[in-house]
Amino acid sequence: MGNQTVKRYRNYATVVYPESAPDGWQEILVQQFVPAFVSPLHDKDIDPGGQPKKSHYHVIIMYDGVKTVEQARDLFGLIGGVGCEVVQSLRGYARYLCHLDNPDKQQYCVDDVRSICGADYVGVIGLAIDRYKAISDMIDYCKDNGIVAYCD
C-alpha cells in the first residue's frame, strides 16, 4: 500500500430505483443499524430536457465513525443502490432530499422523509434562521393572546 492512505468518511449517499431494488429494501437498510435518511419517492422530477426522470429514492447513510467508500458500497449493494457518493455537507444533502433549496425543482414533503436508526431529519435540516423565526412566532402568539405565564 505504500504511502497511500485510504480515505474514510462518515456520510455517503446513493440512489435507489424501485424496480431494481430487492423486495423490502428499506427493511434491509434498517437491519444494518446505520442511521439513514430515505427521501420520499422522487416521481415528479424533470430532466433538463423537460422529460420526466425515472422514479427514484435518495438514501443517505451516516456512520458513527469513518468508513471507506468500499464499506459504504457494500451496504448500498444490499439495497440495490446505484452509485456511492461521499456527502460533503450532511445538511445540504439532507435538504436536497426534498429539494428545499431548489425552488425550480419539484418540492417533496419533509414529513415523508424516513429517518432510520435514530437519525434526526428535522434536526439535520434546520437552519438558525428557522429557529429564530419559530421563536419570533411564539413571542407574537403570546403577545396577541395575552399569555404571560408558561403554564398558559
pTM score of the predicted model: 0.81
Checking if the pLDDT of 1 tops 60, the result is no
Residue, of 5 and 103, whose pLDDT is higher? 103
CA 65 to CA 125: how far, in whole Å? 21
Task: pLDDT band for 113, please (50, 70, 90 cuts).
Answer: very high
Q: Which of 109, 87, 80 is CA-nearest to residue 19?
A: 80
CA 92 to CA 124: how far, in whole Å? 9
Task: pLDDT band for 152, please (50, 70, 90 cuts).
Answer: confident
